[in-house]
Structure 1
Amino acid sequence: MNAAAMDGAVLRAADTPGSPGVNITIFAIFVAVTLGIVFRASRNNKSAADYYAAGRSFTGPQNGIAISGDYLSAASFLGIAGAIAINGYDGFLYSIGFLVAWLVALLLVAELLRNTGRFTMADVLSFRLRQRPIRMAAAISTLVVSFFYLLAQMAGAGGLVALLLGVDGKTGQGIVIAVVGVIMVLYVLIGGMKGTTWVQIVKAVLLVIGAGVMTIWVLSKYGFNLSDLLGAAVEKSAKGEGILSPGLQYGKTDTSKLDFISLSLALVLGTAGLPHVLMRFYTVPSAKEARRSVVWAIWIIGIFYLFTLVIGYGAAALVGPKTIAAAPGKANSAAPLLAFELGGTLFLGLISAIAFATILAVVAGLTITASASFAHDIYANVIKNGEVNPDAEVKVARRAAMVIGVCAIIGGIFAIGQNVAFLVALAFAIAASANLPTILYSLFWKRFNTRGALWSMYGGLISAVVLIIFSPVVSGKPADPVTGKSLSMITDTSIDFHWFPLDNPGLVSIPLAFFLGWIATLTSKESSSREKYAEMEVRSLTGAGAEKAVIH
């Protein structure tokens, strides 16, 4: 058999690895177990604080594990492994950026937010500013960031299950995405934050164990010699030693170099502005536990990202970039295909079920954050002016979760085939643009006022979203040599309306948001309340009064 025929046989074999029956059975067991956990946790949901913040009953280590479960999404496991397998060193830059971002969250945000807020990010931003316009802006930002993050998870789910069940085409993957959407809404409706947190804890433990087993297994095939593994990856890759050096994906042109800087800014600054991560700080009883939870999260996430380096290069060496690129989930299929190569059908089913549980846990966390923001910030504090029964507020949150689920399903169908790590980077860019400048100004700048916050949030949000829409991400990328379709979300190569050259908008939108907040504050005649700032400073640093309602 010649080389071309051999490649074709490998690609066809990769279309449906393992047994679809075994895969479905393992998936069903995982879903049933996690739903059981959610049902059990839901028995203790008696108040709005239970639904939104799990009654602040989790310890620092528990919350740290849950944060890692929330943060280690499909992007971390499927997307980064695929990016490393295909682009080598440049793919590992995602891991570095995602990890370093936690230092920003630990040093600047975690403890101060926990002391100042109650349920959502808007509680902090509206503490010393005009409440209604700030809450509206914060809620809109939360909904947009959550939507973009949900796109990534849905795309990962579609690609993963398409690979395992042999489902190809948008129709089949769309059905898979719809099923994921229904399950995630069930998690939120039944269990609230408490049920979602326990699912994230279980999922984090399973994910780290699964990735650890894969890492040891891959290294054992090369005598636990990382150099031999990298050498095998070089031999299998058409790009040769290029996968060990920077510049394969970023660095070939001046535009790609700027894109790398833009991506780095988004990854490093985005975590501290992600609403679903920030909301986790309210599930612990004190600022000390919030700080402990971030330290735990950093350790777990750091260890996991070291695993992704071995898994990614292991997939390149043992599976091969050609096979990965031809699989239904493309780059997102690298980790499952490696699992099949290592341990056959059963191990593939286990690893894929863990990846599926990862997606379910993350989308549940995103959904409850977005629905809580709508119910608590827009409905309760903007529409009802704070005069609302907590039970009625929770009912609105549950209805919002159903609407968000439908939107996520529709958006996820359009995002099929995109690398999930890349899609998450877009959500990070929006979070860093719309949320982080306002959070930092609110916590640390005495003169900051409502006008500055609104200009910063809306300016950062709108600029980031507009630049994404008119970037090569949506239209205008060249055709894939295998499929002949554009690598953009709009796969028709004849449609091209992009004018912004970078894939990630962070290089423009993040500095712009900081500038707008600064210039709007300085040019505004509105005076900020020194008393409120002093109260906020004392509360954020000491935690005094942190358990009281933050409604002014």
Structure 2
Amino acid sequence: MTNARTLTIVLFVVLVAVTLAITIWASRQTRTATDFYAGGRSFSAFQNGMAIGGDYMSAASFLGIAGIIALSGYDGFLYSIGFLVAWLVALLLVAEFLRNAGRYTMADVLAFRMRQRPVRSAAAVSTVTVSVFYLIAQMVGAGSLVALLLGIKSGQTFLGMSAETAKVATILLVGALMIVYVVVGGMKGTTYVQIVKAFLLMGGAILMTILVLAAYKFNLSDLLGAAAEKSGKGAAFLEPGLKYGKEVAGDPTQTFYNKMDLLSLGLALVLGTAGLPHILIRFYTVPTAKAARRSVLWAIGIIGSFYLLTLALGFGAAALVGSKDIVAQDPGGNTAAPQLAQALGKRFLGGDVGGASLLAIIAAVAFATILAVVAGLTLASSSSVAHDFYANVLRRGEATERQEINVARSSAFVIGAISIVLAIFAQKLNVAFLVALAFAVAASGNLPAILFSLFWKRFNTVGATAAIYGGLGSAVLLVAFSPVVSSLPTSWFPDADFAWFPLQNPGIISIPLGFFFGWLATMLSSEKADDARYAELEVRSLTGAGAH
């Protein structure tokens, strides 16, 4: 165990050193606001596609989805499919239009033909809220890894820390590192960290998938059969209804709620990507609209391949580790993939030493995953605070580039601190589930405003702020009074009970509400839309004429 700990710590230190070196190098290339926010628009389609993959394939993907599949079988596959299909929505409805019409942030498009201050304020609030939800998931993933990686069992300590204390210390460490990446490296540093992470994650996932299939002589039927048997659920493990849409005998009301929760989750997963701020800003880092399109195609190939691999990781963990051992290590299932790595290492790479080695390697990859994604999220939210709220709302467009960048760096500290505190309270939740909440919030507030701005001529300032605040507020409110926060053993506050909203994902209610509020406020408002500016936005978004 000492050797495993030593190897894990050494690999982690090497990884942090490499990413910090990249960040410091990038800081020397960052001179202007365009460099800080958009990496100087200097990345190729392939580089940006890899970075998008690095930004998107988060701890939720690697740790959370593998854990849900390992514990819930067929139903966990919904996340893999939902996250992948979401990219088609982003490609068809958002990517090229945003690249052509915006400059640094999502709000550049929303405010193009509307009053700047109300729209940019709303966009900044929404961006920070979505980013914090997403950041919590990454921090929880980091904390969940620690006890396993360092071999801390209940009652044991490491460097004087219990398992719970070590998780909190890790959340603090990851938070500190993400702030450094953003403050020092900006978009260039963050992008290169994400590219490195994407290579590492794909390599680790491919290696583990090959070993899982080799364990069952590349016979998928044997793998699935073993997973079902070891799960303790039998044939139900390979059928829908184990976790989502569950039918409750004698309780048609609960059965209805379960099925609505399934639809709500699917809707949030499919529509959420097109409203995620840290994904949207990636389209500004390429020089042309053509490169934006091609980068999304690269991202779809990379991300699609990865989500196919999560099936092998999830079912492999169920078969080779077993749900009982996974839950014993982490109730949310977030350590299923690292535990699988340990089991595969023992089987193929020479006993305990091999298990410790592969666990350490995959753990380092998981940390790289978390560090890259939290950096992207922090950059998106701090950029919105600086560019949208400070420069265009408080300073009314009169702030210098240097002042903007300084505010972005300062806000990274504040956003990081908020995320750290909230993550400490959310450690029992599955990270894929937490990300699904972020997707619901993004799809409820950001997506209606973006689509109406791009495609509805009559849409105005009142409608835009109503869509963002209405969708965002309803999503957050419903989550606050749902079983996610209270009433269940796995809730944030399990001893309290104020959950009057029965669904765990609010998307099926809050997403239509976001569109409805935007439509209703526009129709009731006496504000006249600027037809000339809409015509200019339409030409720019469709052709790229005048794009930055």
Question: Could you say which TM-score interval applies, normalised by the shorter chain?
Answer: over 0.9
Quote how far apart the aligned CAs of 1:328 are: 3.9
Counterpart residue type for residue 390 of structure 2: Y
Instruction: State the match for 2:490 in structure 1.
Output: 487
Aligned 8 A contact 1:69 1:362 in 2: yes
CA deviation vs aligned residue, 1:101-143 (integer Å, no higher than 9, x gap): 0000000100000000000000000000111000000000000
Once the two structures are superposed, the pairs formed by residues 70-85 of structure 1 within 5 Å of their partners are 70-85=55-70
Which position in structure 1 is the counterpart of 2:156? none
CA distance in 2, matches of 1:179, 1:435: 31
Aligned-residue offset at 1:169: 4.9
Write the distance in 2 (CA, Å) between the matches of 1:18 and 1:384. Answer: 56
**2:211 is the alignment partner of 1:233:** no
Please report how far the alpha carbon of residue 22 of structure 1 lies from its aligned counterpart in structure 2 after TM superposition: 1.5
Shift of 1:346: 0.6
Per-residue CA distance 1:235-269 (angstroms, 9 max, x = gap): 11111111111110012222111001000110000
Structure 2 gap segments, 5+ residues each: 153-161, 247-254, 346-354
**% identical aligned pairs:** 65
Deviates more, 1:22-31 or 1:95-104: 22-31
2:342 counterpart residue number: 340
* Correspondence list, 1:44-443, <5 A: 44-167=29-152, 169-252=163-246, 253-328=255-330, 330-343=332-345, 344-443=355-454
User: Is residue 158–residue 329 contact of structure 1 (8 Å, CA) maintained in 2?
Assistant: no
* 1:162 Cα offset (Å): 2.3
> Structure 2: how far apart are the matches of 1:22 and 1:421?
28
Query: CA offset at residue 172 of structure 1?
Result: 2.5
Distance 1:251 1:295 in 2: 33
Contact 1:159 1:329 in 2 (8 A): no
Instruction: Provide the rounded CA distance (Å) in 2 between the counterparts of 1:347 and 1:199.
Output: 22
Distance 1:18 1:520, change over 3 A: farther
Greater CA drift, 302-311 or 517-526: 517-526
Contact 1:160–1:329 at 8 Å: present in 2 too? no
TM-score by length of 2: 0.94
Measure how far apart 1:166 and its partner are: 3.7
Distance 1:51 1:421 in 2: 30
Q: 1:434 to 1:368 in 2, by over 3 A?
A: same
Shift of 1:510: 0.3
Letter in 2 for 1:487: T
SS in 2 for 1:129: coil
Identify the residue that residue 502 of structure 2 maps to in structure 1: 501
Equivalent AA in structure 2 for residue 111 of structure 1: E
- For residue 532 of structure 2, what is the aligned residue in structure 1? 531
1:422-471 Cα offsets, whole Å, 9 max, x none, are 00000000000000001000000001111111111100011000100000
What TM-score results when the alignment is normalised by the length of structure 1?
Answer: 0.93
Residues in 2 aligned to 1:475 and 1:166: alpha-carbon distance in whole angstroms: 31
Secondary structure of the residue aligned to 2:334 is helix
1:60-85 CA distance string (max 9 Å, x none): 11100000000000000000000000
CA contact (8 A) 2:134 2:438 kept: yes
Shift in Å, 1:517: 0.8
Alignment partner of 2:335: what SS?
helix
The answer (yes or no) to whether the contact 2:99–2:283 under 8 Å persists in 1 is yes
Deviations 1:171-208 (A, max 9, x none): 33111100110111111111100000000001001101
Q: May I ask how many residue pairs the two structures share in their alignment?
A: 522
Contact 1:17 1:340 in 2 (8 A): no
Structure 1: gaps spanning 5 or more residues: 1-15, 478-485, 548-552
Counterparts of 1:250 and 1:227, CA distance in 2: 24
Q: Secondary structure at the match of 1:373?
A: helix
Supply the RMSD in Å over aligned alpha carbons. Answer: 1.1
Q: Does the aligned pair in 2 maintain the 1:256–1:502 contact within 8 Å?
A: yes
Q: Kindly report which structure 2 residues correspond to 1:455-466, keeping only aligned pairs within 5 A, or say none.
A: 455-466=466-477
**Preserved CA contact (<8 Å) 1:17 1:337:** no
Q: What CA distance in whole angstroms lies between the structure 2 residues aligned with 1:488 and 1:194? A: 38
What is the alpha-carbon distance in structure 1 between the residues aligned to residue 12 and residue 256 of structure 2? 45
Contact 2:67 2:334 in 1 (8 A): yes
Structure 1 CA distance, aligned partners of 2:279 and 2:389?
A: 20
For residue 519 of structure 1, report the CA deviation from its aligned partner. 1.2
Instruction: Answer yes or no: is the 8 Å Cα contact 2:146–2:166 preserved in 1.
Output: no
Structure 1 contact 270–428 (Cα < 8 Å) conserved: yes
Deviation at 1:330, TM superposition (A): 4.2
Distance 1:491 1:463 in 2: 23
Equivalents in 2 of 1:339, 1:436: separation in Å? 38
Correspondence 1:508-527 to 2 at 5 A: 508-527=509-528
